[in-house]
Structure 1
Amino acid sequence: MDKISLAGLVIALVAIIGGQVLEGGQVSSLVQPSALLIVLGGTLGAVLLQSPLHVFRRGLGMAKWVWIPPVIEQKKQLDQLLAWSQIARREGLLQLENQLTTIKDPFARKGLQLVVDGADPVHIRELLEVDINTFEDEWRQSAKIWEAAGGYSPTIGILGAVLGLIHVMENLSDPTKLGAGIAVAFVATIYGVGLANLVYLPMAAKLKYYIVRMVASKEMLVDGLIGIALGDNPRIIESRLRGYML
């Protein structure tokens, strides 16, 4: 559980609601189901319109990373690469073929297979970097649905405000309906701006951070495999790969 994400959200909500109370306002005045429906539904529709279905689904699945970060085991990967480099140095590259059956990650297995096959290090890097670039592009596009939601939400909030004011104008002759219409108008704007700046945009930024770390982990793997293919000393490989670790 990423406690800092939870803490950030709680602090933001407490600050806003606390400010409302200190100003003498009622918390219940911020609860407007119709305004929430306008903002959430309008934002969802806009994001669906701009996104292919598989990108949208992957983006929704990534939301859990805000609370449960993806596992990026750089230390374990470093130890594995160093073990491979020791085997290659003592027994030769062909002995690494016995390690292929123990590797679950398709990217790592592909890279090690290329090393075992004796592929040119330049070609190994080129082939694996294509996979890395594709991986990064796919996941960044999925993370961008939250960034897009952060862009649409305030505008949809303004649209909700306009709808509320239209409702007010239609009922000028009935003062009992004016309060509800004005409330929807202003609360819709609060929902739109609040969700964008307290939820959607921060989520997008955190997801992008994890994508950067995942890409760095893959680049670390490629760098290590190239070192093994070139026959570099394991100490040199270790020194170079530690630069990728946080």
Structure 2
Amino acid sequence: MDLVSLIGTVLAFLVIVLGTILKGSSLESLWNPAAFLIVFAGTLAALMVQTSGKVLRRAGQILPQVYRPQRHEPQGLIRQIIGWSEISRRQGLLGLEPQLDEQRDSFTRKGLQLLIDGGEPDAIRSVLDVELGTREQSDLDAAKVFENAGTYSPTLGIIGAVMGLMAVMQNLADPSKLGHGIAAAFVATIYGIGLANLLMLPIAARLKSLIHKQSEMREILIEGLVSIAAGDNPRQIESKLQGYLP
């Protein structure tokens, strides 16, 4: 669990709630079903028009990574690759077969299987580079869903506010309804801007950062597997892979 991201999300809601109270408004003033429908359902509708179902499903799949990100430990990966290299030098590539069952990541399993099958270094790199690019683009497209939501929601908030003010204009003859009506109209603006700047855009940026880190890990893995296939000794491989680290 990433406590920083979780605390940030909770703090985002607290900022809105406490700000409302400190400004002298009631918490009830923050709730408006019509505004909620216009902003949240409207944003979802816009995303459904723009984005394919496959990308939307992938966006839902990677969203939990914001709060439960995969562990990125390049030093640990390098040690693991060096271990594979030492095994292959002592027992041959077939000695790596027991390592397959220990790998949970499908990309790692595929790369290790290509190595065990005796693939040429260039062939291994070619296959894994294509898969890396495909997976990275798929995840970036999914992350962009949240970025797009952050683009649409403020505009829909303004639409909700305008619609609320139109309703207020129809009740100008009743001054007792004006104050409440105007306040309710601007709730949609709060929803739209808050959704974009406190949730959607930060989530998109966080996911892009995690995707970049995952791609860096996979690049290290590809280089390590190719080096093992080329017959490099463990010390050479370690020195080469350390160059990927800052």
TM-score with structure 1 setting the length: 0.89
Q: Aligned ranges for residues 125-140 of structure 1 at < 5 Å? A: 125-140=125-140
Structure 1 residue ranges (4+ consecutive) displaced by more than 6 angstroms after TM superposition: none
In the TM superposition, residue 169 of structure 1 has moved relative to its aligned partner by 1.5
Provide the rounded CA distance (Å) in 1 between the counterparts of 2:18 and 2:109. 54
Q: Deviations over 1:4-45 (max 9, x none)?
A: 112223333333433333333333322222212211111111
- 3-state SS of the aligned residue for 2:24? coil
Percent sequence identity over aligned pairs: 50
Tell me the equivalent position of 1:81: 81
Which deviates more, 111-120 or 208-217?
111-120
Provide the rounded CA distance (Å) in 2 between the counterparts of 1:189 and 1:104. 45
In the TM superposition, residue 62 of structure 1 has moved relative to its aligned partner by 1.9
Which deviates more, 30-39 or 137-146?
30-39
Tell me the equivalent position of 2:191: 191
Contact 2:146 2:203 in 1 (8 A): yes
Tell me the equivalent position of 1:61: 61
Tell me the equivalent position of 1:228: 228
Provide the rounded CA distance (Å) in 1 between the counterparts of 2:31 and 2:94. 67
Tell me the equivalent position of 1:90: 90
Alignment partner of 1:47 is 2:41? no
Q: Deviations over 1:166-185 (max 9, x none)?
A: 11112222333333431232
Q: Deviations over 1:132-190 (max 9, x none)?
A: 00000111111111111100000000010111011111222233333343123211011
Provide the rounded CA distance (Å) in 1 between the counterparts of 2:125 and 2:191. 47
Tell me the equivalent position of 2:174: 174
Tell me the equivalent position of 2:152: 152
Contact 2:154 2:196 in 1 (8 A): yes
Tell me the equivalent position of 1:201: 201
Provide the rounded CA distance (Å) in 1 between the counterparts of 2:106 and 2:66. 25
Tell me the equivalent position of 2:9: 9
Contact 2:29 2:184 in 1 (8 A): no
- What is the Cα-based RMSD across aligned positions, in Å? 2.2
Amino acid at match of 2:177: K
TM-score with structure 2 setting the length: 0.89
Contact 1:154 1:192 in 2 (8 A): yes
In the TM superposition, residue 224 of structure 1 has moved relative to its aligned partner by 0.5
Provide the rounded CA distance (Å) in 2 between the counterparts of 1:121 and 1:34. 60
- In structure 2, list runs of 5 or more residues that go unmatched: none
Provide the rounded CA distance (Å) in 2 between the counterparts of 1:242 and 1:7. 34
